[in-house]
Amino acid sequence: MKVVYCVKYGSHEDLEVREIDPPGAPGPGQVKVEIAAIGIQFSDLVRIAGNYQDSSGLPFVVGGEAAGVVTGVGEGVEEFSLGDRVLTPGGCVEQVNVSSRALTMVPEGVDMNVAASFRNNYATAYYGMQRANLQPGEVLLVHGAAGGVGLAAVDIGKLFGAIVIGTASSDEKLAVVKKLGADHVVNYTDGFREAVKALTDGRGADVIYDPVGGDVFDESMRCIAPFGRILIVGFTGGRPALAKTNHLLVKDAAVIGYTMGGLQRHNPAQNAKNSAVLMGWLGSGRINPFISHIMPMDDVKEAYQLLVDRKVVGKVILT
């Protein structure tokens, strides 16, 4: 079977697609899954570069979230059966044996590509809104709103009853952000502070969702509302920013850093509850993941290059 390995830290151009033997029969407590669709994301590039906060040892299989069909059930597993459609860890690999506890049933009627596209982004956005205590009627400013975590934040923010302002770097991307629910959109190529101030009658945004960092964070500090909260989601802009505590003091504002890994380690019960809520929303159509590219796994380098070139809106899926 095919598998995509990162064999050395550096560039996605160095990834290797290899043929290896498929896994044998699943062991006790395990389930074998034939992968149908794999979701990749910007954080994979950070991990490939060796800069992720919990970087894996080499070599490692790239990618994380996937969706597939159960083809084998190990001893002691009662909650899954042959033919079940599931979300699974695994990444860019055609078959995998995993613990049954790591699997989640895909709701009836949900496309497998959509299933593989949503969990990481939506879990990050949902937990972020919980951390920020986003309230109905508050203004949510989402940076990088055309990206995977950004579009998820727009979607979740509207479910929370917020007034959502989405920023992106092109009018084409902003058209998608607007179509998917943002109340207002701003091209932030030449800045966004004045536009946000104008849209909020000078008050600023109550919650700012920032997966970009760098200069975007610095400007966000100048358009945050009193008692506002900035969520630190990541640094796709290339550099972590430094929060000026005098600005926080004047605005009675807060900067909140969070990770899904932290939630999973320190509050697994909350993580499981959040996952169940999101799966319910996905099954009922209350959330709407967006996929801009579906590509074969052999084109993994090209898929990651689309992320580097900022050409992905929402998610890119490998099959």
**pLDDT tens per residue across span 190-225:** 999 999 999 999 999 999 999 999 999 999 999 999
Using one digit for the tens of pLDDT, what is the confidence trace for 247-291? Answer: 899 999 999 999 998 999 999 999 999 999 999 999 999 999 999
pTM reported for the whole predicted model:
0.91
* Whether residues 96 and 134 fall in one domain: no
The average pLDDT across 173-179 equals: 95
- Helix, strand, coil percentages (3-state) for the chain, rounded to 5, are 35, 25, 35
Strand partners, 227: none
* Whether residues 100 and 166 fall in one domain: no
* Whether residues 163 and 98 fall in one domain: no
The average pLDDT across 293-316 equals: 95
Ramachandran angles phi, psi of 244, nearest 5°? -85, 115
**Beta-strand pair 104-105/85-89:** antiparallel
Using one digit for the tens of pLDDT, what is the confidence trace for 244-259? Answer: 899 899 999 999 999 9
Q: Which residue has the tokens 């940076």?
A: 143
Residue 278 belongs to some domain of the structure = no
* Whether residues 66 and 13 fall in one domain: yes
**Beta-strand pair 16-19/291-295:** unpaired
Residue 300 belongs to some domain of the structure = yes
Question: Which of 221, 245, 261 marks a domain boundary?
Answer: 261
The average pLDDT across 1-10 equals: 95
Which pLDDT score is estimated for 53?
Answer: 64
Question: Which of 261, 277, 301 marks a domain boundary?
Answer: 261
End-to-end alpha-carbon separation of the chain, Å? Answer: 13
Q: With contact defined as beta carbons under 8 Å apart, do 36 and 69 qualify?
A: yes
Helices 148-159 & 112-132, crossing angle to 10 degrees? 60
Q: With contact defined as beta carbons under 8 Å apart, do 66 and 94 qualify?
A: no
Lowest-pLDDT range of 2-11, 53-62, 196-205, 305-314: 53-62
Which pLDDT score is estimated for 54?
Answer: 62
* Whether residues 145 and 221 fall in one domain: yes
Cis peptide before 211 (omega within 30 of 0): no
Helix (H) or strand (E) holding 33: strand 30-40
* Whether residues 95 and 193 fall in one domain: no
* Whether residues 152 and 69 fall in one domain: no
* Whether residues 161 and 202 fall in one domain: yes
Residue 183, SS3 per DSSP: coil
Which pLDDT score is estimated for 52?
Answer: 74
Residue 283 belongs to some domain of the structure = no
Q: Is the pLDDT of residue 238 over 80?
A: no
Mean model confidence pLDDT for the chain:
94
Question: For position 188, which CATH number holds?
Answer: 3.40.50.720
Which pLDDT score is estimated for 46?
Answer: 86
* Whether residues 212 and 94 fall in one domain: no
Residue 270 belongs to some domain of the structure = no
Q: Is the pLDDT of residue 18 over 80?
A: yes
Residue 272 belongs to some domain of the structure = no
Using one digit for the tens of pLDDT, what is the confidence trace for 101-153? Answer: 999 999 999 999 999 999 999 999 999 999 999 999 999 999 999 999 999 99
Per-residue CA distances from 33 to 41, 106, 214 (Å): 21, 13, 40
Q: Is the pLDDT of residue 6 over 90?
A: yes
For 40, the domain range is 2-106+289-318
Residue 268 belongs to some domain of the structure = no
The average pLDDT across 5-31 equals: 96
The average pLDDT across 26-43 equals: 95
Residue 271 belongs to some domain of the structure = no
Q: How many domains does the chain have?
A: 2
Q: Which residue has the tokens 């979607």?
A: 155
* Whether residues 141 and 182 fall in one domain: yes
> Cβ of 80: how many Cβ atoms within 10 Å?
17
Using one digit for the tens of pLDDT, what is the confidence trace for 90-111? Answer: 899 999 999 999 999 999 999 9
Report d(CA 34, CA 85) in Å as an integer: 10
Q: How confident is the model at residue 67 (pLDDT cuts 50, 70, 90)?
A: very high
Question: For position 54, which CATH number holds?
Answer: 3.90.180.10
Q: Is the pLDDT of residue 55 over 70?
A: no
Ramachandran angles phi, psi of 264, nearest 5°? -65, -35
* Whether residues 242 and 131 fall in one domain: yes
Residue 43 belongs to some domain of the structure = yes
Q: How confident is the model at residue 315 (pLDDT cuts 50, 70, 90)?
A: very high
Which pLDDT score is estimated for 140?
Answer: 98
Give the tokens for residue 132.
Answer: 């920020």
* Whether residues 138 and 244 fall in one domain: yes
Strand partners, 35: 68
